[in-house]
Chain A
Amino acid sequence: MSDEVHHDCCEHHAHHHELVVDGLSVRYGEVLALDGITFGTSCGNRLALVGPNGAGKSTLIKAIAGLVPRAGGTIRWRGTAVKRWSREFAYLPQREQVDWSFPITVRGLVEMGRYPQTGWWGRFGRDDDDAVDAALETLELADLAGRQIRELSGGQQQRAFLARALAQEAHVLLLDEPFSGLDRRAAGHLGELFHRLSHEGRLIIASHHQLESLPALFDEALLLDTRQLAFGAAETALDDPSLDPFFTAVTLPVGQP
């Protein structure tokens, strides 16, 4: 796969592929939604954002993706400050927020991932078609390419958006609650995909509200409730006994392992 050429360099130059978030704050009008979030991670990792409802998990995802303006703080990716958006970032919305009845095929959706490359007027060339084909192939969607996006299962819909991110050649995948609403099999499949994509050198950041599955699905975890409460390896970051009160708030009954 051609993408590996881009990504296998991460092993040797980890410092070039660092995402550093420093003092990130977001306000919605008067309300402080995020306060001084500070962490650093690098590509090849899977980072979970954990916290109770309304803690700002989605807001943090959107702030990194540039969808909501920052009230303060900086984001640096590979040593360069990200002003608003980087072509190497891809945002994958929560499934409930997508207009699934939009008359667009899976292939059409994945082609949208090439727009940042082609620009508004550029021809959709051979490279673009190849990138779309490769992304569809990687996510096992080639047979479904002609389907309208509503005619997919939940897991397939999630993969269609992942395919768009791959077509965009994004290095940082920002996902809002990717596992919510997926059945056990689809969740398992998505977990394997995360593992594979991160091994190819991508950085995966996802909000997640299921503590039991956290160590299996993610490498790192950031616990937040407007402020940042903990950050570290997925197995240990949440071990601090002082965080216990949050766990009751975080764990929601969801039918997945």
Chain B
Amino acid sequence: MTAELLQNPFFQRALAAGLLIGFANGFFSGFVVLRRHALSVSALSHTMLPGIAFGILAAGALTQLSAFLGALFAALVVGLGSVAVARGERVAQGTALAVIYTTAFAIGVAILPRLDTRQELEHWLFGDILAVGPADLWTAFAIGAVTLLTANLLMRPILLTLFEPHVAAAQGVPVRSIQYLVFALLVLSLVASLQAVGCVLSVGLLVAPAATVSLLTNRTPLLFWGGGLLGALGALAGIVLAAALSISAGPAIVIVLGTAFLLAWLLSPRYGLFARRTSA
């Protein structure tokens, strides 16, 4: 079965896409974990759905660019909207965000099936990595390359900004621009992961890898590279597992990554549950 599968161009492309997307998103998950913004990432990922619908409506057709612009637009509206609502101090920002993003998501679920696109709603929600075409592969590669290159070039100012924004600002780091840049890279990563795991599950790829690594090491660079490695391996394992068990690839990837996190949480030599038990 396996040999036959590996000959299959769809499967080959799926593996390549999983590798690229898994690594880029796993690397980026380091920032998500450092910023402790897992909830906002969840909100952003759900916001992608109406964003894509908006992109299709505005551009008349679905391209990676219209998807990205639509997602960026929707993310900005939801993000800034929650800030604006929370400014009244009656509603906490987390509450506002939760209400607004679920509403946005609902709008997406309602209108996407009515638009004239090839893909089914389920494809958007949970991904369909076996449907990756050669063009999608190039896009995943380009997004991954841009994300990795930018993040690595600006690693020092980004770390300073995340750790001590005021000190970073005093030292001349353009903190505001860096924060916007990280946000834009995040949306870009989400768009890239859409194909593989869909918008509902993309949170898994963008949080789990570095969250797992953070249980195993304190070295900041390892959080990124280890997260990338784990994301790539998890994506590959998920795709193979999905084929073996005849389940969807997107959920399989997220299950593999979630299992890795659970194992690290239990067994990490320093911070695992058992280590704490025995040392206490």
Please indicate whether A and B come from the same complex rather than being unrelated chains. Answer: yes
Which A residues between 112 and 152 are near B, CB-CB below 8 angstroms? 112, 115-116, 118, 120-121, 146-148
Distance, CA A92 to CA B156, complexed state (A): 19
Distance, CA A241 to CA B122, complexed state (A): 79
Is A85 interfacial (CB-CB < 8 Å)? yes
Cβ contact within 8 Å between B157 and A120: yes
Q: Which residues of A contact B169 (CB under 8 A)?
A: 67
Cβ contact within 8 Å between B163 and A112: yes
Is A93 interfacial (CB-CB < 8 Å)? yes
Contact pick for A103, options B34, B160, B164, CB 8 Å: B34
Distance, CA A103 to CA B33, complexed state (A): 9
Cβ contact within 8 Å between A115 and B156: yes
Which A residues between 64 and 94 are near B, CB-CB below 8 angstroms? 65-67, 84-85, 91, 93
The residue of chain A having its C-beta at the shortest distance from the C-beta of B159 within the complex is A112
Contact pick for B219, options A66, A102, A108, A112, CB 8 Å: A108
Given A103-B34, A103-B214, A104-B163; A91-B219 close (CB under 8 Å): no
Q: Which residues of A contact B217 (CB under 8 A)?
A: 103
Is B170 interfacial (CB-CB < 8 Å)? yes
Cβ contact within 8 Å between B167 and A93: yes
B153 to chain A, nearest CB (A): 7
Q: Which residues of A contact B160 (CB under 8 A)?
A: 112, 115
Tell me how many residues of A have a C-beta within 8 Å of chain B: 24
Is A105 interfacial (CB-CB < 8 Å)? yes
Cβ contact within 8 Å between A85 and B172: yes
Which B residues between 152 and 207 are near A, CB-CB below 8 angstroms? 153-154, 156-157, 159-160, 162-164, 166-167, 169-172
Residue among A62, A84, A103 facing the most chain B CB atoms (10 A cut-off) = A103
The residue of chain B having its C-beta at the shortest distance from the C-beta of A91 within the complex is B167
Is A99 interfacial (CB-CB < 8 Å)? yes
Cβ contact within 8 Å between B159 and A85: no
Cβ contact within 8 Å between A116 and B171: yes
Distance, CA A120 to CA B171, complexed state (A): 12
Is B220 interfacial (CB-CB < 8 Å)? yes
Q: Which residues of B contact A103 (CB under 8 A)?
A: 33-34, 214, 217-220, 223
The residue of chain A having its C-beta at the shortest distance from the C-beta of B221 within the complex is A108
Cβ contact within 8 Å between A148 and B218: yes
Given A112-B159, A112-B160, A121-B153; A67-B218 close (CB under 8 Å): no
Distance, CA A30 to CA B157, complexed state (A): 32
Q: Which residues of B contact A93 (CB under 8 A)?
A: 164, 167
The residue of chain A having its C-beta at the shortest distance from the C-beta of B217 within the complex is A103
27 A-B residue pairs with CB within 8 Å: A62-B166, A65-B167, A67-B170, A84-B172, A85-B170, A85-B171, A93-B164, A98-B164, A102-B162, A103-B33, A103-B34, A103-B214, A103-B218, A103-B220, A104-B163, A104-B218, A104-B220, A105-B218, A108-B219, A112-B159, A112-B160, A115-B156, A116-B171, A120-B153, A120-B156, A146-B218, A148-B218
State the A residues within 8 Å of B (CB): 62, 65-67, 84-85, 91, 93, 98-99, 102-105, 108, 112, 115-116, 118, 120-121, 146-148
- Beyond A85-B170, A118-B156, 10 additional contacts (C-beta under 8 Å) are A66-B170, A85-B171, A91-B167, A91-B170, A93-B164, A103-B33, A105-B218, A108-B219, A120-B154, A147-B218
The 6 A-B pairs at the shortest CB distance, nearest first, are namely A148-B218, A66-B170, A85-B170, A67-B166, A67-B170, A105-B218
